[in-house]
Structure formats: structure tokens, C-alpha cells
Chains A and B, each alone.
Chain A
Amino acid sequence: MTNFHTISILVSNESGVLSRIVDLFSGRGYNIESLTVAPTIDRLFSRVTIVTDGDEAAIEQINKQLNRVVPVIKVADLNIGESVEREIALVKIQVKDEEKSDILRIAEATNSKIIDVTDKTYILQAIGDEKQIQALVEMVRPYSVKEFVRSGKVAISRNSQFSNIKNL
């Protein structure tokens, strides 16, 4: 079974850092399942969150290799500590009149929101962990899904893995 890990990487916010990380993954044959990146509260730093798979040895290598990249400041495998993760998904569904109430019910059941409505389409927004997003995917599948976009995960540890760098 594939073993997904969420790796959170704190980097200096300078040009080219993302390419260094992505090059490392492709050059060494590691898989990127999803990737997000944005500045932290302090704009001198950015946070990259990568979901990848591999056995323990592979994850350990990824961790060490990332640490070797000069502008990488800290790497944390969030599957080890307890962490909270979220993802956002947007689904555009073409709806017939008789389906509209179904969609409303799905939105309610999956804790999603309808954030845009035209006479032919609804856009649903779901924010949640992997399971919640997957639940929405399964429920809308029978309908006419026109577009589906997902942000990739962001995650945060519940303890203080990054406590040595304040407020990041």
C-alpha cells in the first residue's frame, strides 16, 4: 500500500527555492502527490507543503536531501507528530432543475458551501481533510461534474515543531 506523508518545509522566501525543491524530487525519482506554497506571516520565509509517498527509508532520504538544500531552514514530517490538515476543493456541476435540491442536500451533508450559482451550474466549495474531500467527490460523481479543482494540502502540527522560529 502506498504510504502518504505530508512534509512541511520552511524555506527562505527567495527566487528559485521552489525549483530547487521540485528539481530534487524529480532528479531523485521521488513522487509529488500535491504541493502548496505561500509566504508565512513573516514574508522573509515561505512554507512549502508536499504530500509524497514512499517507505520509511525513502521518506528519511527525502527529509535529509531537503535539509541539504541551502535555503531550506526546517523540514518536518507531519505524519510523525500529530497534525491538522486541510484542503480546499471547488466543484462545478451542471444541474438540471430536478437535481437542484439533490445538490443542496449534498452540500449540507458534506459541509460544503454553494459559492456560485448560474441558471445551469452550481459551484460547491468544500474545506476539509482528505476524507471530507473524498466524500464530496463520491457524492457528486453521479451528477454532471464539469470541473473539479483541488488546492493540495496545507498542514500544521499541533505541537511546537517549529517553535524555535517565532510566529512562523
Chain B
Amino acid sequence: MTNEVCTGAQILLKSLVKEGVKEIFGYPGGVILTVYEALYNQKDIKHYLVRHEQAAVHAAEGYARVTGRPGVALVTSGPGACNTVTGIANAYYDGYPIVVFTGQVGLNQIGNDAFQEADVVGITRSCCKHNYLVKDVKDLQRIIKEAFHIATTGKPGPVVVDLPKDILTQKTTFDYPKEVKIAGYNPNYKGHPIQISKALKMLSEAHRPIIISGGGVLTSSAHEELLKVANMLKTPVCHTLMGTGTFPANSELDLGMLGMHGNFWANHAVSHADVIFALGTRFNDRITGCLQRFARDAHVIHVDIDPCSISKNVKADIPIVGDVKNVLEGMISEFEKTNPNIYVEDKNNWLNQIEEWKRNRAVVKSPEGKLSAIDVINKLYEMTKEYDPIVCTEVGQHQMWTAQNFKFNKPRRLVTSGGLGTMGFGFPAAMGACAAYPDKLVLNIAGDGSIQMNIQEMATCADYGFKVINCIIDNGYLGMVRQWQEKLFHEHYSETKISHPDFVKLAEAYGALGIRIEKEEEIEPAIKKAIEAKCPVILDFVTESMEMVYPWVLAGEPLTKVLLSNDC
């Protein structure tokens, strides 16, 4: 029935249904009870009760990352809302669409330091794309419509909607708006045709071109167009951490990841390029190294839907504001029309030069005695690849080893916190992936430090049968920080040795499967058991403490100054 009179709480849920939302992650509390009452009386939306609000937001983001659809979190006021901040900031940095609904004290109490009051709009202002305080029940459906629109268009991001308690009980007619009109918000999707022509000409004529594929390629689902463009221009492609999976690892033109822990040859190729074609990347310091010495000879063509990203860090010679997919489509059709000379010989020489650099690989010495984390991660990749798994990670050495050693041929398979680098993100994000695709194999490659940041979510997994396989690289340290201390602070391991409970017993306490792996020959059977298990899993891989992530460009150094092993 349309045009029904409903309470604010009912309108919220009905609006979610209109937006196609089927799953939400949340945690109840006083002021938001009316929404939970409305949830109780309906069947369209499934609510997952987490154990900490931060996890609800990360789970919503994990859901958004693997599906491309907005994730939704629902929490109460004050402490509940404050607990969401890290999750909101994480989604903002990496540009994923989520909508977070927070309870608020009644309108007449706002500003009076009421029980569990927090200025959510003020607190989240600088870490979300936009936020709203709903002041009239009549505005509620319009605001929800706008929130989803803003979260999912342009450069996607988190939107927060703060819901005062009294709004949720007041009534109005439900008539969900069909359109959104926001005067100040009109993201530009179409790249300028003249700029696209100029870019095509520059790339065709380039001697040493390279494409940098960033998270924007994933967001705009431009991976097929990217492959086409790379092949037609015979141009190699490297990717940022966020762009993992946007270019198939099995392509001859793939150079893998660039940046601080990227491939030696990718960093060299970028540094010696004469044209850089940057797609949907912010040129974050983790990929540029020392900015003044970054790709000094290169002309830069930069495509991004967010004008702020262009010429912020690296000055663009040809800026193109627009959606990557549209721009690449435009380029392909122009190429087919004009069939320009791409100077194949130059391009081949360049590819040969890169092949030369590829011989310079990081020297990986397996540690003696204890397990090597890199060996474990390689084994995980080999044994799971046939399942096309979703691979989440926490933050640290294990994250970089995963990015380096897992090969991804598809987008939306690696789920990792890039911009904010949030320890504790991977596990709840993996729950979001499980909620989205209950039949998929979902791994969370974790550190022994990071996993303890949201370990309480084992209970959520047990409740809903989220079969996350937590593969803990248990090196006894906050390894990535220890690595910096080893090199830069005279091996003073200040506060980076970290303990943990018995992970096997912990798994069992939560009704999960726990296996400790200490020897080479235990790896395979353990992974096999984990894949076959019908419950959440913790694999505790006890690994060498002193293993390092190489290649490594120290912060502030130019990309060409790569350390490849402990000896250099």
C-alpha cells in the first residue's frame, strides 16, 4: 500500500527496502529501540547483531566492497555512535559506500548534555562524505534518499544520518521520493572529449608509458576497458594496493603492485616512464615515495571522478575529471575510429627493458626453524585459488605479504584497509563478505596484533554461521612496527612484542575450529580442514618473528631506492 501513514522508525525500514537493502549490521540501545521494535515486526531486512559498533561499520564496508552495493549500519546514540567513527573514517579514505544510522537524544534535549548524547554530526563531519541531523519527520525519507545517492555516486563514501528519538515515533505519510535534487552535488561522469583525445595522442606516441590503476578503476568497474586499453596501446600496468585485481595478474603487461612495498620493476618503470596514465588514484605517499623525486621525466595524464585528487600531490599535464569507465570507453572508440600509430617498436623496447628489471627480485630467505610467513601465505594462495576466495586482511606485514603473493585476476577479491590502515578492519569486513556471499570461501589473513582488535566478533560469526577462516600470522610482534624499529631505531623493540591468549582454546570457546600450526608439514592438512569445516576457523600459524617485508622503500625516499633484502 502506498501513501501509508507510518512512524519515523517504520519509514526508515521502508526506505531501506526501497533502496534494495536486505542486510544491515547493528547494535541496539535506548534511543534507537523504536527502530528495533519495527525490525521485530518485519521480514524484509535481516539484522546482524555484532559485538562492537566499530565492527558493524567495518562489516557494512566489507559488504559494500565485495558487492558494490551500499552497506548499512545501525547504532544507538552516544557511545554507540562514537564507536562508529573509525569505521566511518576507514570507508571515507578508501571510498566505499556505506550509510550509518545513529540514534540521537530527543530534539528538545540536544545540546543539554543529555544521557548518551554526542554531537555526532560534529564528530563525524571531517571523516564522512556528508551527514545529516533529521529535524523533522517529514524530511526523513528525502534525507535517506539523498544519503544513499551521495554514498553511491561520484567518489563513493560514508554518509551518516543522525536520528533523534522523537522523530522515530512521530508519524507522516510514506511516499518515497523518486528523484534526488541536490543543488550543490553534481558529480561529473563524462570526461572531456578533447582531453581524452589529447591523452590518446600522448599515450600512442609515448616511448615509455605506464598505467597506474587505482581503486577508482574498481569502483567504476572499468577492469575490462582497462585490459582493452592496455592491450591496444601495448602499455604495461601496475596497480596500487586499492587497485588490486583491476588488472589480471596473468597478463603479460601486468607489473603488479607499486609503491613502498611494491615490485622493484614496477617502481623502476614508473620512475623512468615518459608518460604516466593514472586512473582513479590519489597519488598517496605510499605509492609516490619522495614527491619531489617522483617520475621527474614523466608527463602525467590523470583521470579521477574527484577533482580534488587531481594535481593535489602530482601535477597533471592532462587532467580528466570523470568516471574511469566512461573515459576509457571514449578512448577505445576514438582509437577504433582513428587507428593511430602506436610506435610498436618503442613500446617493445620498453617492455624488454622492464623484463630486464624483473630479474632483480627481492631475495627471500626462508628462516630456519620456525615457519616463514611468506611460505604460509603462498601455501594459502595455492590451496585456495581454485575457490576464487575473498581475501580480507588486517594491517601490517601479513597484509603486504598477502598483497605481494596472492595473485588476483578479478576485482573485489582483496579486501584491505588502505588509506587509513586500520588494524581490526579485516575480520568484521570478512563477516560482511560472508553475509553478502554465504557460499563463498572467505579468508581473513591477520596478524596476531590486529586480530585482537576485534576478536569479540568470533561470537557474531558463531551466531550466524559466518565461516570466516582467520589465518593468523603469529609472529609474536606488531611486526610492521618492529620492522621499522629494526631498521630505523637501532633494533629497540619498544612496546612491539605482544602476547595473546591461546588462539586454539579461544576458537573452541567460541564454538569455532582452532588449529595451531608450527611445522611445515602441518600447513596443508590444517588448511584442508579449514576449507572443509562448517564453522568459523582460527588457524594459528606460529611464524618466525624477525621476517621482513621486502622490497621496501623507506618513507620519504625516492621509489628507485629500494631495499631488497637485509643486506642492502
Contacts and interface: CB of A to CB of B under 8 A. Distances in A.
A79 interface: no
A12 B185 CA distance: 11
A113 to B, nearest CB: 39
B308 A12 contact: no
A71 B121 CA distance: 14
Interface residues of A, number: 22
A67 interface: yes
B125 A70 contact: no
A165 B20 CA distance: 35
B130 A70 contact: yes
Interface string A1-38: 00000000001100110011001100100000000000
Given A61-B308, A65-B308, A68-B308, A19 B125 contact: yes
Interface string A39-76: 00000000000000000010011001101111111100
B126 A27 contact: yes
B183 interface: yes
Given A19-B122, A70-B130, A11 B311 contact: no
Most buried by A among B150, B182, B183, B185: B183
A61 B125 contact: no
A23 B125 contact: yes
B121 A16 contact: yes
Contacts of A16: 121, 125, 133
B28 interface: no
Nearest to B131: A16
Given A23-B126, A70-B150, A60 B184 contact: no
Contacts of B125: 16, 19-20, 23
Contact of B307 (A15, A19, A64, A70): A64
Nearest to B185: A70
Contacts of B122: 19
Contact of B306 (A11, A68, A72): A68
Contact of B184 (A57, A64, A69): A69
Nearest to A28: B126
A23 B121 CA distance: 12
Most buried by B among A20, A24, A64, A73: A64
Contacts of A60: 311
Contacts of B311: 57, 60
B192 interface: no
A68 B182 CA distance: 13
Nearest to A20: B125
B149 to A, nearest CB: 10
B312 interface: yes
Contacts of B315: 57
Nearest to A67: B307
B147 to A, nearest CB: 11
Nearest to A71: B184
A73 B184 contact: yes
A130 B158 CA distance: 42
Contact of A73 (B133, B150, B183, B306): B183
Contacts of A19: 122, 125
Contact of B308 (A64, A72, A73, A74): A64
A20 B306 CA distance: 18
Contact of B312 (A11, A27, A61): A61
Contact of A11 (B182, B184, B185): B184
B126 A12 contact: no
Contacts of B126: 23-24, 27
Most buried by A among B133, B184, B307: B184
Interface in B278-334: 306-308, 311-312, 315
A124 to B, nearest CB: 40
B519 to A, nearest CB: 51
B184 A72 contact: yes
Contacts of A73: 183-184
Interface of B: 121-122, 125-126, 129-130, 133, 150, 182-185, 306-308, 311-312, 315
Given A12-B184, A16-B133, A71-B184, 19 more contacts: A12-B183, A16-B121, A16-B125, A19-B125, A20-B125, A23-B125, A23-B126, A24-B126, A27-B126, A60-B311, A61-B308, A64-B307, A68-B308, A69-B184, A70-B129, A70-B182, A73-B183, A73-B184, A74-B184
19 contacts: A12-B184, A16-B121, A16-B125, A16-B133, A23-B125, A23-B126, A27-B126, A60-B311, A61-B312, A64-B307, A68-B308, A70-B129, A70-B150, A70-B184, A71-B184, A72-B184, A73-B183, A73-B184, A74-B184
Task: List the 3 closest pairs (A to B, CB-CB), nearest first.
Answer: A73-B184, A70-B130, A64-B308
